[in-house]
Amino acid sequence: MKTKIIVIVGPTAVGKTALGIGLAQKFQGEIISGDSQQVYRKLDIGTAKASPEEQAAARHHLIDVREVTETYSAYDFVQEARTAISDVTSRGKVPIIVGGTGLYLQSLIEGYHLGGQVDQEAVLAYRQELELLSDSDLFGKIAELDIEIAELNRRRAIRALEIAKFNPDAENNESEYDALLIGLNADRQLIYDRINLRVDLMMDHGLLDEASWLYENYPTCQASRGIGYKELFPYFAGEASLDEVTDKLKQNTRRFAKRQLTWFRNRMDVDFYDITEPDFKAQIEAKVSAFLKVEPQI
């Protein structure tokens, strides 16, 4: 029997953390972060990491598991998330994965990865190239390479071609998880307004100091390339004003949110809920209750 997991996705600033904690409290769950930046120690504000109070409200995993000098990949996430899931379920708890890094979550849920040394940007570029192909051309590539796929469809075909190109020895297994994917969304302008407000609050709470420490000590590490830090570096270099880099950070975060939604809509089977609906939380709780076959705790 496959292990049941809850996965909460959506664009940045939509409220995934709060929902995850609420579900963890009602369904005896624990949170597993599905975010590529929250793994880094000392990068708290710019990554919108769950606060100490939030982490006390529900146990969290895969937060603060890397130094900023270290790298982190989809391969690392899959391995460590699988370990965390086993740990959570061994104690009779429900794994609740919360995050916005689509590649990581898809790799875990669909039961495959391309290995730790694969250039993920190259994978994404190749995937975008494949997605432009018609079904006929895409399936023709599968036939040309003599790849056997049960229940052939576009998603499986693209996945198989990625593996064939970047790591032919990688396993392409069926997932060991029964995942309920819950997506949060809202009107685009509302999401953008929430992002702009979040950036302002981050600046008020010390993001500039956090980014300055990263710039002065580790300006070329993988962590420094994340949204929330690289946008501020021109200010420290004297190349742009604080207002200019703050506006750039807001713009890049809005664009990132748009890419997140595109990924989750096109590549993953997500049930989306509008956070402006008065009963959206009740709807989600009912869905989770039916999925787990347990009643929520009051």
Summarised one tens digit per residue, pLDDT across range 115-171 is: 555 666 677 678 778 888 898 999 999 999 888 887 788 877 887 888 888 776 655
Average per-residue pLDDT for the chain: 91
Q: How far apart are CA 62 and CA 35, in angstroms?
A: 9
Q: Would you state the pLDDT for residue 148?
A: 80
Residue 10 among known ligand-binding residues:
yes
At residue 76's C-alpha, the angle toward residues 71 and 80, to 5°, is 130
Residue 2 among known ligand-binding residues:
no
Residue 15 among known ligand-binding residues:
yes
Q: Would you state the pLDDT for residue 101?
A: 92
Tell me what percent of the chain is helix, strand and coil, each rounded to the nearest 5: 50, 10, 35
Residue 102 among known ligand-binding residues:
no
pTM of the model as a whole: 0.84
Residue 13 among known ligand-binding residues:
yes
Summarised one tens digit per residue, pLDDT across range 43-86 is: 999 999 999 999 999 999 999 999 999 999 888 899 999 999 99
Task: Indicate the burial class of 78 (C-beta count within 10 angstroms; 0-12, 13-18, 19 or more).
Answer: buried
Residue 287 among known ligand-binding residues:
no
Give the DSSP per-residue string, 134-189: -HHHHHHHHHHTT---TT--HHHHHHHHHHHHH-TTS-BPPPSEEEEEEEEE--HH
Summarised one tens digit per residue, pLDDT across range 214-273 is: 999 999 999 999 999 999 999 999 999 999 999 999 999 999 999 999 989 988 889 999
Residue 71 among known ligand-binding residues:
no
> Which CATH number is associated with domain 189-256?
1.10.287.890
Residue 253 among known ligand-binding residues:
no
